Structure 1
Amino acid sequence: MATVRQVQVTFDCAEPERVARFWCEVLGYEVPAPPPGFDSWAAFEQSLPAEMHGSAFAIVDPNGVGPRMFFQRVPEGKVVKNRVHLDVRVGTGLVGQERLDALEAETVRLEALGASRVQLLVADGFNESCQVMQDVEGNEFCLD
């Protein structure tokens, strides 16, 4: 029998802390405590070489259920659609107008945080409605 392993979701981005703090607000995640021996992440960062400053950031589920999310700075910008994306489950169990209302309410909340709406995919008899969005750096995700 295979061993179940934990996973980490990693985002390539230009501004790791900015993108990480956006996802904290979306998911209710938090920034973990700094490494032992440091009273803050800023103090830890100052211990690193200058070229490493601002190069990475991580967030965690405060309940320990969801995966750790890691954000790393890369030199290239985003140029194509994500091959993997997150579905943020805000309408689970809802159908019709009730689901559309829940998706719209969360869309408005996330737009205030810097997200952009891309396309509303309306229920088609097989799939329920979902709202395609982009985060603060253009990474696609769905409100599902």
Structure 2
Amino acid sequence: MRARIDEIVFDCADPAKLVRFWAALLGGTPVDRSADWSYVDVEGFTRLAFQRVPEGKTVKNRVHLDLDAGDIAAAGAEAVALGAELTGGVVTDAQGSFQVLRDPEGNEFCFVAV
């Protein structure tokens, strides 16, 4: 049997707020299914969903999204304007460049350019 990814789910404190951040960043229309569950269908990608949990984030994500930004500086500035936080500077090596950010609830993600 082979499974396929149906959606990627983020645990969070405020699903409605977080889905609007990601919808603004990636495109798509935010949907609030309930006060505890929101999602956005991102064109060309799987659904991102956000579920309310009682505990806060305490450690680094074990999984994160790498987003092809093209212009990392411009993408980072836009993300910050939407509520993200930059963590460190742009890192460049022989494989390309990346910038680590945190969404409004502290979930790490990267803008990449290869």
Q: TM-score, normalised by structure 2?
A: 0.88
Among 88, 110, 113, the residue aligned to 1:142: 110
Which residue is 1:74 aligned to?
Answer: 53
Name the amino acid aligned to 1:22. Answer: F
Amino acid at match of 1:133: L
Change (3 A) 1:73 1:4: closer
Q: Which of 85, 93, 110 is the aligned partner of 1:116?
A: 85
What does 1:34-45 correspond to in 2, within 5 Å? 45=34
- In the TM superposition, residue 66 of structure 1 has moved relative to its aligned partner by 1.0
* 1:67-106 matches, cutoff 5 A: 67-91=46-70, 102-106=71-75
Give CA deviations for 1:13-52 in whole Å, capped at 9, x if unaligned.
Answer: 00001000100011112135xxxxxxxx6xx75xxxxxxx
The amino acid of 1:113's aligned partner reads: L
Any unmatched runs of 5+ in structure 1?
33-40, 46-53, 92-101
SS of 1:20's equivalent?
A: helix
Aligned to 1:59: 40
Larger Rg: 1 or 2?
Answer: 1
User: What's the offset of the Cα at 1:4?
Assistant: 5.7
**TM value normalised by structure 1:** 0.71
- Using the aligned pairs only, state the percent identity: 41
Distance 1:117 1:59 in 2: 23
Q: What is the count of residue pairs matched by the alignment? A: 112
**In the alignment, structure 1 residue 11 sits paired with structure 2 residue 10:** yes
Structure with the higher fraction of residues in strand conformation: 2
Q: What is the CA-CA distance between 1:56 and the residue it aligns to? A: 1.0
Q: Is the 8 A contact 1:120 1:129 kept in 2?
A: no
